[in-house]
Structure 1
């Protein structure tokens, strides 16, 4: 039996107001992914972590893939916000370096979410007009804009190379091949 949004549940389950359950579920999914990776996330584990009935996640997500698409979309939106905030915090000359540092920090602090976003195959398999594809494309735009301002004749290629450097560093750190701090890495890469 499904509980209506905002209804009180028995036991340790929480009470949610209309509209808050989706956020609670996304927060719980991010926490589950951070703790155990995306492979271990199921609708049942999500319901347990969120403290809701097993049927509750299906009110907002049709299945596990829909949930993962939503988590990844939210991740790209948060990632883009971090890059834009870094770019706006200080003078234009060092904006690209600040964005590079923000990129590395986001990847280091959100390893499993980053893997879901960039290494799970979700984005390449998403429809071109999907929120996930749009959010992923939008996350590249701040880097492209800054590189274009500095290096217009080869901006797209240059932005991809810089993105590749940052992605490689995040993944090498995540997999334990690099142990240096973001500050140390920023001291030796050129942006």
Structure 2
């Protein structure tokens, strides 16, 4: 087998790509260093030139995922307030669809952010982008951010990725849109509600 990582001069990225492919196919628990090495076309020993071990490799995939996630959230072009929050929640679903390997590395691998400063900082940047959109929603921005993130994540898991195993799961975007409408309408001040 050709040593693709060495041939292309970027073994580190080749290993990350192999990791992303394998964790989509087998899940984070089914991913192995030897499998990643084989996918990248190198020996398992070559991995240790760039990564301390399995968790280090998965953590780097997760860190890249948070960077991509923050970039997608930052690209949301919508009016401030509820429209921007809705658009960012939909961007959450789009991220999970476009980058399933990164999504799994970020949220399902069990990597402890508290022990990995670079990963924690990347996750914080993504959270800060969403937090900025939730600021000024007639409620505590940190709490709204947590609610919107939780709602989006739940819809991704239960309906987009169908973790619930439903034979006919609801359409994820429509489900998220309805849930956000209900949640965000509860944040409108009572005076604004009576004037509608």
TM-score (norm 1): 0.80
| TM-aligned CA distance change 1:113 to 1:121, over 3 Å | same
> Given the alignment, which residue of 11, 23, 26 partners 1:21?
11
Q: In 2, distance between residues paired with 1:55 and 1:124?
A: 26
Tell me the secondary structure at the aligned position of residue 152 of structure 2: helix
Secondary structure of the structure 2 residue equivalent to 1:150: coil
How far apart, CA to CA, are the structure 1 residues paired with 2:110 and 2:3?
34
Work out whether residues 105 and 182 of structure 1, in 8 Å CA contact, stay in contact via their aligned partners in 2.
no
SS state of the match for residue 44, structure 2? Answer: coil
Alignment of 1:123 with 2:109, yes or no, is no
RMSD: 2.2
Kept after mapping to 1: 8 A contact 2:85/2:133: yes
**C-alpha contact 1:47 1:53 (8 A) present in aligned 2:** yes
How do 1:16-95 and structure 2 match up within 5 A? 16-18=7-9, 20-85=10-75, 87=76, 89-92=77-80, 94-95=83-84
8 Å contact from structure 1 (residues 148, 155) kept in 2: yes
Unaligned segments of structure 2, at least 5 residues: 185-196
Alignment deviations for residues 87-146 of structure 1 (CA, whole Å, 9 cap, x no partner)? 2x344452221111110122244445424312433134524xx10111111111111001
Aligned residue in 2 for 1:133: 120
TM-score (norm. length: structure 2): 0.78
Structure 1 residue runs of 5 or longer lacking an equivalent are 1-10
Equivalent-residue separation in structure 2 for 1:40 and 1:113 (angstroms) = 15
Asked if 1:105 corresponds to 2:94, the answer is yes
CA–CA distance in structure 2, aligned partners of residues 183 and 32 of structure 1: 27
**What is the number of equivalent residue pairs in this alignment?**
175
* Aligned pair partner of 2:143 in 140, 153, 157: 157
Shift of 1:61: 0.4
